[in-house]
């Protein structure tokens, strides 16, 4: 993208904001007692108040003098202007041209071989490794079996917000989603221009209204990990203690371990799940087996 194209993109953000502000009436925006006014749309100060930003900051956005709005600010403005999914997507595209033009290559995250070998040797404990944007980088066989009802085991947030299996798998899906979003917000705060996080937040913002609402919330702290209660279609209810361990040799990665209380029904369920997975493994490796 050359400088002229970049200038057009930035100017396009200001035109986009003015256009939507001027076509949205006070009543439609939830403002009462606005009284008579010379123009039908909202004033800048009204949009700023609805979005929770200062008037001077919002004015700079419309005047193309603010070139790096945060994802949270964009979400707040999208809500204030009552944008639909298509307009919301256009807002994100117009607001982030500089990041897309100058961004560094997407970080290639690899799991160290010894760490992969470690979790694969845990036959009674589901374990997996996630990257900085909660992409699943490595899973052991028992974790694969635990999450087999999901269409794709690719990213924690995509599984939670976009896969229908999450509603039946998690006994408390709302808490799981809150926890995952808070974790991502914490990472995004330290790497605001990370291309993978921008891509993921953009996708989820368009495809999930619940994610949009949670992403816009202010979190005081990341909720603590605790016992995860899930329902597996093959072995029933499981209570698993969720532990997240930082991989110090590879910043940004976490080792997630799900443990059952020894001697508990959940431990028996995991043992059964492991047995089922071991029986199915040869068939997965050789689809023609038994044909």
Residue 197 reports pLDDT greater than 50: yes
Counting other chains too, the contacts that 33-41 makes at CB distance below 8 Å and 24 or more residues apart are none
Q: What is residue 69's predicted lDDT score, i.e. its pLDDT?
A: 82
Same domain, 48 and 154: no
**Which band of pLDDT confidence, cut at 50, 70 and 90, is reported for residue 84?**
confident
The residue among 49, 79, 102 that closes a domain is 102
**Per-residue pLDDT at 167 exceeds 50:** yes
The total number of structural domains that make up the chain: 2
Q: Give the pLDDT confidence score for residue 258 in this predicted structure.
A: 97
More confident residue, 226 or 289: 226
Residue 74 pLDDT: 87
pLDDT of residue 139: 96
Does 146 fall in a domain?
Answer: yes
Res 266: pLDDT: 97
Find the mean pLDDT for residues 54-70.
84
Q: Does the pLDDT value for residue 229 go beyond 90?
A: yes
Enter the pTM of the model: 0.66
**Do 123 and 207 sit in the same domain of this protein?**
yes
Q: Spell 147-166 as b/e; 16+ CB within 10 A means b.
A: bbbbeebebbbbbbbbbeeb
Confidence class of residue 141 from pLDDT cuts 50, 70 and 90?
A: very high
**Does 291 reside within a domain?**
no
Among residues 72, 102, 132, the one where a domain terminates is 102
What is residue 30's predicted lDDT score, i.e. its pLDDT? Answer: 79
Q: Does some domain include residue 78?
A: yes
CATH number for position 27: 1.10.260.40
**CATH code assigned at 185:** 3.30.450.180
| % of the chain with per-residue pLDDT over 70 | 82
Return the higher-pLDDT residue of 34 and 56.
56
Q: What is the pLDDT of residues 1-50, one digit of tens each?
A: 344 434 344 467 888 999 999 888 888 887 765 556 666 788 898 898 88
Percentage of the chain with pLDDT > 90?
40
- Look over the chain and give the mean of its residue pLDDT values, rounded to a whole number: 83
Q: What mean pLDDT is predicted for residues 251-273? A: 95
- One domain for residues 70 and 21: yes
- 108 within a domain of the structure (yes/no): no
Q: 79 and 124, same structural domain? A: no
pLDDT band at 87 (very low <50, low <70, confident <90, very high): confident
Question: Considering the domain boundaries, does residue 267 fall inside one?
Answer: yes
Structural domain including 66 reads 3-102
Q: Residue 232 pLDDT > 50, yes or no?
A: yes
- Residues 245-273 have a mean pLDDT of 95
Where a domain ends, among 58, 79, 102? 102
Terminal C-alpha separation, the chain: 55
Q: What is the mean pLDDT of the segment spanning 82-98?
A: 78
Residue 107 falls within a domain, yes or no? Answer: no
């Amino acid at each position: 993208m050359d400088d002229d194209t970049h200038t057009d993109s930035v100017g396009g953000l200001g035109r986009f904001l003015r256009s939507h502000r001027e076509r949205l009436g006070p009543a439609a925006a939830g403002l009462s007692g606005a009284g008579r006014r010379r123009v039908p749309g909202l004033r800048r100060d009204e949009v700023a108040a609805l979005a929770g930003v200062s008037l001077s900051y919002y004015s700079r956005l419309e005047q193309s003098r603010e070139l790096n709005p945060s994802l949270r600010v964009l979400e707040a403005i999208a809500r204030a202007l009552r944008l639909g999914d298509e307009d919301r997507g256009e807002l994100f595209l117009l607001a982030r041209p500089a990041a897309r033009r100058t961004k560094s290559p997407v970080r290639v995250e690899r799991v160290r071989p010894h760490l992969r070998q470690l979790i694969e040797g845990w036959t009674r404990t589901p374990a997996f490794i996630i990257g900085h944007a909660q992409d699943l980088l490595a899973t052991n066989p028992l974790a694969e079996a635990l999450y087999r009802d999901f269409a794709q085991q690719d990213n924690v947030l995509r599984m939670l917000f976009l896969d229908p299996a999450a509603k039946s798998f998690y006994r408390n899906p709302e808490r799981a989603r809150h926890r995952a979003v808070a974790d991502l917000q914490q990472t995004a705060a330290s790497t605001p221009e990370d291309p993978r996080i921008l891509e993921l937040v953009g996708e989820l913002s368009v495809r999930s209204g619940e994610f949009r609402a949670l992403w816009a919330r202010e979190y005081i702290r990341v909720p603590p990990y605790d016992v995860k209660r899930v329902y597996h279609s093959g072995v029933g209810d499981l209570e698993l203690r969720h532990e997240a361990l930082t991989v110090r040799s590879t910043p940004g990665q976490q080792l997630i371990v799900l443990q059952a209380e020894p001697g508990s029904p959940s431990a028996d369920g995991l043992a059964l799940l492991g047995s089922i997975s071991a029986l199915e493994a040869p068939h997965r490796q050789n689809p023609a087996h038994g044909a």
